[in-house]
Amino acid sequence: MSYADGWAALNLQMPPRVPRTEYSADCHWQLVSAVTGVAVGPETPEAIRQQASRAFVRAWNYDLLWSTAIAGSEFGDLRTDMGHAEYAAGGVDRRDTVHCPFTEPEQVLAFDPVAAYGRKHHAELVQRFEAHYEANCRAQADLVNMTGIYISLVSGLIDIFGWEMLLLAAGTDPESFGRLANRYSQWIQQYFDALADSNVPVVMVHDDIVWTSGAFLAPDWYRAWVFPNYRRMFAPLREAGKKIIYTSDGNYSAFIDDIVACGVHALVMEPMTDMAYVAQRYGRQIAFIGNADTRILLSGGRRQIHAEVQRCMAIGKPCPGFFMAVGNHIPANTPVDSALYYNEVYERLGRR
């Protein structure tokens, strides 16, 4: 685990090994137990689970830890509950409640986030970001920490309206839906302004703008209503000298150029997004994180796992800002032996 290697990669100063991060692996309790020797599971007291997770992160030599502070809870009760499928160990995250406070697309298109959620006190937002970042640093000191925003724009609209009402409204009147995106970006700007004024050096901007197969709205809609807002939202971060890391699930290959043009310093991507294109076109300009296919760890054998790590290394290793990671996540149903072998191959191939 090395802050030095993670920070060097973010600054495009090639470290002697490929740095790495992972998602959810530190809550895969069977894997955590195998790596750390600490017997831990979903029913283990939280304090022990946290200690075991931290020990796992150190053992697997993370150089950067993905984290955001601002999520859908900012919306209070005026948001859609889409429920949640079983994902975490023991199914502790399963939720069957489904509720949407919006019944007509016209309600969505007329929605005013400022009127609904109000304005926050700037100093309090700054303090929240700094407290979150400092807590992350206390928990894991020797790696690159961050704070950030999960509900940056499209993800915020998904959280408020849910997929059904969002798609219905966007299909009913794309231009009015774009104006709604503008109103939302004006409301969320207060969080970006607070991040800019915080003493946090690295910020995560999360926004799920696509599906696994790609864009769920016309590409021209994104270029008219999403990326111009990104440029305005990110401007104070860049002016303040923050390192901006951008994450979207799914396949955003069609929008890589647009996102880079908005001023980000790093991209986090799942295996659907074309990492080879990122490396070829921007490998000396930005950092990037990814993108081994978690499905290969779930169901592949050692030969397939080795080939997948080798694929990622062949693409990313020549680039100074490449971080290795499995995207999307190493969930609790991943075979422990497969995860351990993945790590073994990473350690063997990660030296430059």
Name residue, tokens 């859908």: 72
- Position 216 scores a pLDDT of 97
Q: How confident is the model at residue 81 (pLDDT cuts 50, 70, 90)?
A: confident
Mean pLDDT for the chain overall = 95
Cβ atoms of residues 140 and 54 within 8 Å: yes
- Position 91 scores a pLDDT of 58
Sheet holding 322-327, edge to edge: 147-149, 202-206, 243-247, 266-268, 287-293, 322-327
Q: How confident is the model at residue 99 (pLDDT cuts 50, 70, 90)?
A: confident
Structural domain boundaries of the chain?
A: 1-62+287-352, 68-268
- Position 271 scores a pLDDT of 96
Give the mean pLDDT of 235-240: 98
Q: What residues have CB less than 8 Å from 238, skipping those under 6 apart?
A: 244, 263
- Position 35 scores a pLDDT of 98
- Position 85 scores a pLDDT of 47
Q: Mapping DSSP to helix (H, G, I), strand (E, B) and coil, where does residue 226 land?
A: coil
- Position 255 scores a pLDDT of 98
pLDDT of 177 higher than 70: yes
Give the mean pLDDT of 61-80: 97
pLDDT of 107 higher than 60: yes
Cβ atoms of residues 209 and 248 within 8 Å: yes
Tell me the per-residue pLDDT of 300-318, one tens digit each, with 9 for 90 and over: 999 999 999 999 999 999 9
- Position 328 scores a pLDDT of 84
- Position 98 scores a pLDDT of 75
- Position 217 scores a pLDDT of 97
pLDDT of 181 higher than 70: yes
Cβ atoms of residues 139 and 2 within 8 Å: no
Quote the tokens at residue 331.
Answer: 């969930």
Alpha-carbon torsion 85, 203, 339, 294, what sign? positive
Nearest to 332 by CA among 15, 12, 24, 7: 24
- List Cα–Cα distances, 270 to 193, 235, 336, in angstroms: 28, 26, 21
pLDDT of 69 higher than 50: yes
Give the mean pLDDT of 204-217: 97
| Cα 152 to Cα 154: distance, rounded to the nearest angstrom | 7
- Position 312 scores a pLDDT of 98
Quote the tokens at residue 302.
Answer: 């050692």
pLDDT of 76 higher than 70: yes
In the chain, how long is the greatest CA-to-CA distance?
56
Please provide residue 289's backbone torsions phi and psi, each rounded to the nearest 5 degrees: -130, 120
| Cα 288 to Cα 14: distance, rounded to the nearest angstrom | 13
Tell me the per-residue pLDDT of 261-286, one tens digit each, with 9 for 90 and over: 999 999 999 999 999 999 999 999 99
Q: How confident is the model at residue 92 (pLDDT cuts 50, 70, 90)?
A: low
| CATH number belonging to the domain at 68-268, selected among 3.20.20.210, 3.40.190.10, 3.40.605.10, 1.10.3720.10 | 3.20.20.210
- Position 90 scores a pLDDT of 60
Cβ atoms of residues 108 and 169 within 8 Å: yes
Q: Above pLDDT 90, what percent of the chain?
A: 93
